[in-house]
Copies of this chain bind each other. A is one copy, B any other.
């Protein structure tokens, strides 16, 4: 879960040296309150339900929050997804990306244990992040597919 009851978003912003604005708080709340990372489109749509906002502003806020380490940016399909960055309250964890519905979910940190030491010792460049992403089809989509399959079979039994 990306969700965080322990984070004071207002404080996170000021502590990062960012001005506290209604939009930024809203974005942080939305990302932090969701069970998994969201893409810009989803965040934009969610903010919009309450307050009008420009799409570009959302991108810029997301960039700022990533730059200052409040959010992490994950790639999924051909968009970026944003979740709370790992901090004292959240361990880094792998994600599951459903290629069918495009939803991204967080996996428990123990789901995949990985040992970074061997790489960190020999890699010549600068390592900023290590992401584990599991791709596949989520349970909901699996059920939808198999239901649809049965329906089609009943209707068109080849």
| Chain A residues within 8 Å of B, Cβ to Cβ | 75-80, 94, 96, 98-99, 107, 110-116, 118-119, 122-139, 141-142
| Residues of B with C-beta under 8 A to A141 | 125
Task: For the complex, give the distance between the alpha carbons of A114 and B130 in Å.
Answer: 12
Looking at A78, A111, A129, the one whose CB has the most chain B CB atoms below 10 A away is A111
Interface contact A135-B131, CB-CB below 8 Å: yes
| Residues of B with C-beta under 8 A to A125 | 96, 98, 136-139, 141-142
Interface contact B123-A96, CB-CB below 8 Å: yes
Interface contact A128-B99, CB-CB below 8 Å: yes
Shortest A117–chain B CB gap in Å is 10
Among candidates B77, B126, B142, residue contacting A137 with C-beta atoms closer than 8 Å: B126
